[in-house]
Amino acid sequence: MGDGADLVLTGGAVWTGRPDRPFAEAVAVRGGRVVSVGSAREVRDAVGHAGEAVELGGRAVLPGFQDAHCHPTSGGLQMRRCDLGEALTMAQCHDAVREYLRRDPGAPWVLGSGWSMETFPGGTPDAASLDLVCGDRPAFLVNRDGHSAWVNGRALALAGIDASSPDPAHGRIERLASGEPQGTLHEGAMDLVGRLVPVTGSEELEAALADAQRHLLSLGVTGWQDAMVGDDVQRAYESLASSGQLRARVRLALWWDRERGVEQVRELVARRASAARMGIDASSVKIMLDGVVETRTAALLDPYLVPGGGGGCGHEHGTGKLFLEPELAEEAVRLVAAEGFQVHFHAIGDRAVRVALDAVAAAGERADARRLRHHVAHVQVVHPDDVPRFHRLGVAVNAQPFWACVEPQMTELTIPVLGQERSSWQYRFATLADSGAVLAGGSDWPVSTANPLEEIAVAVSRALPESARHGAAPEEPFLPSERIALATAIGAFTAGSAYVNHRESDSGTIEPGKLADLVVLEHDPFETGADRLPEARVRLTMLAGAVAHEDGSL
Contacts of 418 (CB under 8 A, 6+ apart): 293, 304, 305, 381, 426
User: In the prediction, which pLDDT does 205 show?
Assistant: 97
**69 is a domain residue:** no
**pLDDT at 310 exceeding the cut of 70:** no
User: Within a domain: residue 374?
Assistant: yes
Q: Is residue 68 part of a domain?
A: no
CB count in 10 Å sphere of residue 468: 18
Q: How many CB atoms neighbour CB 68 within 10 A?
A: 32
407 lies in the same domain as 459: yes
Percent of the chain clearing pLDDT 70 (strictly above): 96
* CA gyration radius, the chain: 23
More confident residue, 59 or 369: 59
- Give start and end residues of each alpha helix (H) in 221-349: 231-242, 265-277, 326-338
DSSP string, 341-383: PEEEEEE-SHHHHHHHHHHHHHHGGGT-HHHHT-EEEE--B--
Could you give the angle at the alpha carbon of 287 between the alpha carbons of 282 and 288, nearest 5°?
135
Q: Write the pLDDT tens digit of every residue in 493-514.
A: 999 999 999 999 999 999 999 9
Out of 153-162, 312-321, 361-370, pick the least confident: 312-321
Beta strands at 7-10 and 23-24: parallel, antiparallel or unpaired: unpaired
**Which amino acid, residue 471?**
G
Sorted by sequence, the CB contacts under 8 Å of residue 37 that are 6+ apart come out as: 14, 16, 24, 26, 27, 28, 43, 510, 511, 512
**Listed range (242-246, 352-356, 365-369) with the worst mean pLDDT:** 365-369
**What's the pTM value of the predicted model, to 2 decimals?**
0.90
Q: Are residues 129 and 248 in the same domain?
A: no
Query: In this predicted model, what pLDDT tens digit does every residue of 119-162 receive, in sequence order?
Result: 888 889 999 999 999 988 999 999 988 889 999 999 999 999 99
Angle at 406 between CA 402 and CA 407, to 5 degrees: 85
Q: How many helices (H) and strands (E) does the chain have?
A: 21, 24
CATH number at residue 55: 2.30.40.10
- The pLDDT confidence band at residue 534, using thresholds 50, 70 and 90, is confident
Domain boundary among 147, 170, 194: 194
309 has pLDDT over 70? no
The Cα 538–Cα 265 span in angstroms is: 41
Local structure of 150: helix, strand or coil: strand
- Region 369-395 average pLDDT: 96
Give the pLDDT score at 369: 77
449 in the same domain as 376: yes
Of 49-58, 306-315, 427-436, minimum mean pLDDT range: 306-315
> Are 132 and 17 within one domain?
no
- Averaged pLDDT, 413-431: 97
Domain edge (last residue) among 145, 168, 194: 194
Statement: residue 312 has pLDDT above 50: no
| Judgement on whether residues 11 and 31 belong to the same structural domain of the protein | yes
Instruction: Please state which of the ranges 106-110, 221-225, 276-280, 425-429 shows the lowest mean pLDDT.
Output: 106-110
Q: Are residues 32 and 126 in the same domain?
A: no
pLDDT value of position 366: 65
How far is 523 from 60, CA to CA, in rounded Å? Answer: 6
Q: What is the mean pLDDT of residues 424-446?
A: 98
Examine residue 506 and state whether it is found in any structural domain, yes or no. Answer: no
Output the pLDDT for position 1: 47
Are 296 and 306 within 8 A, CB to CB? yes
155-169, 311-325, 455-469: which has the minimum mean pLDDT?
Answer: 311-325
239 and 158: one domain? Answer: no
- The answer to the question of residue 262 being in a domain is yes
Looking up residue 127, the CATH number of its domain turns out to be 3.10.310.70
pLDDT band at 432 (very low <50, low <70, confident <90, very high): very high
Helix extents (H) in 12-135: 40-47, 72-80, 90-103, 127-134
Spacing of C-alpha 478 from chain mean position:
20
Mean pLDDT of 236-249: 98
pLDDT band for 470, please (50, 70, 90 cuts). low
Same domain, 496 and 520: no
Q: What was the pLDDT predicted at 372?
A: 96
- Amino acid 508: pLDDT: 98
Q: What DSSP element (H or E) covers 203?
A: helix 202-218
Tell me, yes or no, whether 33 and 154 share the same domain. no
Same domain, 445 and 529: no
Domain end among 148, 169, 194: 194
Quick one: which of 395, 391, 341, 338 has its CA closest to 369?
395
DSSP 69-91: EE-HHHHHHHHHSEE-TT--SHH
Model pLDDT, residue 251: 98
pLDDT of residue 471: 61
Exposed e or buried b for every residue in 242-278, given b needs 16+ CB within 10 A? eeeebbbbbbbbbbbebeeeeebbeebeebbeebeee
Is residue 423 situated within a structural domain?
yes
Q: Is residue 273 part of a domain?
A: yes
Number of domains composing the chain: 3
- Rounded to whole angstroms, the Cα distance separating 126 from 173 reads 12
Confidence (pLDDT) at 367: 67
**Domain of 335, in residue numbers:** 202-500
Which tens digits make up the pLDDT trace of 11-43? 999 999 999 999 999 999 999 999 999 999 999
Q: What is the pLDDT of residues 68-94, one digit of tens each?
A: 999 999 999 999 998 998 888 999 999
Which of 122, 178, 124 is CA-nearest to residue 151?
124
Q: How far apart are the first and last CA of the chain?
A: 27
Same domain membership, residue 240 and residue 147: no
CA 532 remoteness from chain centre: 23
The pLDDT score that the predictor gives to residue 548 is 98
Whole-angstrom CA distances from 55 to 13, 219, 385 are: 11, 21, 51
* Count of beta carbons in the 10 Å neighbourhood of residue 424: 15
pLDDT at 314 over 50: no
1 belongs to a structural domain: no
Share of residues in the chain with pLDDT > 90 (%): 82
Nearest to 247 by CA among 495, 449, 546, 539: 546
Clarify whether residues 80 and 57 are in a common domain. no
